[in-house]
Amino acid sequence: MTRSARLHADGLTRCPWPGEDPFYMAYHDTEWGVPEYDDRALYEKLILDGFQAGLAWITILRKRENFRRAFDDFQPEKIARYNAKKVHALMNDVGIVRNRAKIEGTIASAKSYLKIMEDGPGFSKFMWEFVDGKPKVNQFKTTASVPASTPVSVKMSKELIARGFKFVGPTIVYAFMQATGMVNDHLVTCFCHETCAGKHRAPRLKIK
């Protein structure tokens, strides 16, 4: 369905997908499309996008704090050491999406992440090199114009899979690229289209 940006009661024009949900609107305004360069944060987002497969993103977003608690704040060095007992505990955690393949995939991806961190300049630089280190700013006017995947997301997906990452198909990877600001897919009439590139993400406090 073709949808254009919409004017909200606060006087701001936004992409249509967050609707009138204040929680979703806040995510749209402050996170989605803002460039993310933190290694661990990029790993977290990639994993959460993998968990989203087959679900609506708002479902994952509402469970995000539960996921962070369950997965040790998405610290790959901890997740890489998860054993069968931990997987069993996660499968019984009602606060997250209980999918064994995705949970085990998170562990496999943590090990692959650590390998990249050990071998090269870091996960962030590895990922951002696919877009030459800077956001690609698109000029879409309607949601129908926004692709589900691109040649770059296909290339990134293949490389991640080759390195052992799981649940990183081209569509999942493109959603990840949109969310982390590697591409700016805010519609041109959305107020965030001009502002998100200049925003900087504040470091998130870790869960105790």
Paired tokens of 54: 């087959």
Q: Is 190 annotated as a binding residue?
A: yes
Burial 153-181 (b: 16+ CB within 10 A, else e): beebbeebeebbbbbbbbbbbbbbbbbbb
Q: 196 among the known binding-site residues?
A: no
186 is annotated as contributing to ligand binding: yes
Q: Exposure pattern of 103-139 as b/e (b: 16+ CB <10 Å)?
A: bebbbebbbbbbebbeeeeebbebbbebeeeebebbe
Q: Give dist(CA 198, CA 44) in Å, integer.
A: 22
Would you list which residues are annotated within the binding site for Zn(2+)? 15, 28, 186, 190
Annotated binding site: 15, 28, 186, 190
